[in-house]
């Protein structure tokens, strides 16, 4: 999960050109489970299907954050929406990928690289299974972007240089080894970051990174995202997108 504590990112100065991106939606688990969901991170696959159907009706296409940033670089991001899924749960492969495929859309899955095949031990909600290396490769093979969400889902604001290097650069090396491909995307766990964390992401060779919520201003290493709640109807989603757009533009 990535709920951002108040004040995260305070004082971080954008280094590159300010990015002007279409909205980026933030999902976590996509599941039919009826277990308690105290952190409100589970969206039913049927609801995801309705969200994506609505995006299509609005003339929008959901894409990975990598594709969104690349399109923005070419001035071609109009009509796109970023779709991101945090933490690397197994349900992404089994529940979200078929829905995305049905709508011809792609997304970015942010994986906790040191917990492959494990579970979400960083929070006190129900245990949720995380994809193993084969699962991560299957996600990439299905056309989705795999990004890093650190090695162990730690808070990066205030972290010492060794922790930043291990969690940020180390997780990239793990995923590149798993995928045998470059990993350009990063996502700050808990949405928690500061200037040193953003600099660690830049210097580790990533191309873009996203935060949580309506953070502004930002460069491509602090891309804001719009949280999607478990019960969001299409009307809620449109209202969130509109509100988010007003706050981050």
Q: Which residues form the interface with Zn ion (CB under 5 A)? A: 1-2, 86-87, 189
Q: Take residue 170 and report the two structure tokens written for it.
A: 């180390």
In the complex, what is the shortest distance from the CB of residue 88 to Zn ion, in angstroms, rounded to a whole number?
9
In the complex, what is the shortest distance from the CB of residue 1 to Zn ion, in angstroms, rounded to a whole number?
5
Helix/strand/coil percentages in the chain, nearest 5: 35, 15, 45
In the complex, what is the shortest distance from the CB of residue 54 to Zn ion, in angstroms, rounded to a whole number?
25
In the complex, what is the shortest distance from the CB of residue 184 to Zn ion, in angstroms, rounded to a whole number?
19
| Residue whose CB is less far from Zn ion, 48 or 112 | 112
Contact 1, 190 (CB under 8 A): yes
Distance between start and end Cα atoms, the chain: 25
| Residue whose CB is less far from Zn ion, 55 or 186 | 186
| Residue whose CB is less far from Zn ion, 80 or 172 | 172
In the complex, what is the shortest distance from the CB of residue 87 to Zn ion, in angstroms, rounded to a whole number?
5
Alpha-helical regions (H) of the chain = 45-57, 65-73, 90-91, 97-102, 133-141, 161-164, 171-179, 195-203, 234-248
| Residue whose CB is less far from Zn ion, 86 or 91 | 86
| Residue whose CB is less far from Zn ion, 3 or 169 | 3
How far apart CA 129 and CA 100 sit, in angstroms, is: 20
Q: Take residue 142 and report the two structure tokens written for it.
A: 């299905």
How far apart CA 53 and CA 219 sit, in angstroms, is: 30
| Residue whose CB is less far from Zn ion, 86 or 219 | 86
Cis amide prior to 68 (ω within 30 degrees) = no
In the complex, what is the shortest distance from the CB of residue 46 to Zn ion, in angstroms, rounded to a whole number?
23
């Amino acid at each position: 999960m990535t709920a951002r504590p108040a004040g995260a990112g305070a004082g971080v100065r954008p280094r590159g050109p300010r990015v002007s991106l279409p909205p980026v939606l933030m999902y976590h688990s996509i599941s039919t489970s009826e277990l308690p969901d105290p952190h409100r991170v589970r969206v039913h696959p049927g609801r995801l299907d309705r969200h994506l159907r609505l995006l299509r009706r609005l003339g929008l296409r959901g894409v990975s954050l990598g594709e969104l940033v690349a399109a923005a670089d070419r001035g071609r991001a109009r009509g796109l929406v970023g779709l991101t899924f945090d933490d690397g749960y197994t349900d992404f492969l089994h529940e979200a990928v078929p829905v995305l495929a049905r709508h011809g859309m792609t997304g970015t899955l942010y994986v906790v690289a040191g917990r492959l095949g494990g579970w979400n031990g960083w929070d006190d909600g129900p245990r949720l299974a995380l994809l193993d290396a084969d699962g991560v490769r299957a996600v990439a093979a299905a056309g989705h972007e795999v990004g890093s969400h650190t090695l162990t889902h730690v808070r990066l604001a205030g972290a010492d240089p060794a922790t930043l290097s291990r969690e940020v650069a180390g997780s990239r090396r793990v995923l590149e080894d798993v995928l045998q491909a470059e990993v350009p995307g990063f996502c700050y766990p808990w949405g928690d970051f500061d200037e040193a964390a953003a600099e660690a992401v830049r210097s580790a060779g990533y191309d873009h990174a996203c935060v949580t919520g309506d953070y502004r201003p930002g460069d491509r290493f602090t891309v804001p995202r719009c949280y999607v709640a478990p019960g969001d109807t299409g009307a809620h989603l449109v209202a969130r997108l509109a509100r988010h757009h007003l706050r981050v533009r």
